[in-house]
Amino acid sequence: MANYSNVGTMGAFIGGALLGMTAAILFAPEPGKDLRRRLIEKLNQHSIILSDTEVDELIARLEADDEDIV
């Protein structure tokens, strides 16, 4: 029988790393167009393909989460 706890732990780690990377990129001081291009490139490196609309939605969700924290 497979041990699924390791899969969940690895998934959580990768998800957290990607979320942290995305947040770091979002708060970097650069123009929005360059930011979106870099974000898309980084996500593509991890085989995560998002449309421009999905990237905009991701950014909006991260910004909303940031406002909830403050």
pLDDT cut 70: percent of the chain above it: 77
pLDDT (average), residues 43-67? 81
Distance of alpha carbon 42 from alpha carbon 49, whole angstroms: 10
Mean pLDDT, all residues of the chain = 75
CA angle 65, 68, 69 (to 5 degrees): 90
The full set of domain ranges for the chain reads: 4-69
The alpha carbon torsion through 13, 8, 70, 62 (nearest 10 deg) reads 80
pLDDT (average), residues 39-68? 80
Question: pTM of the entire structure?
Answer: 0.43
Of the chain, the end-to-end C-alpha distance in Å amounts to: 44
Distance of alpha carbon 31 from alpha carbon 3, whole angstroms: 44
pLDDT tier for residue 66 given thresholds of 50, 70 and 90? low
Q: Which two tokens stand for residue 51?
A: 């449309």
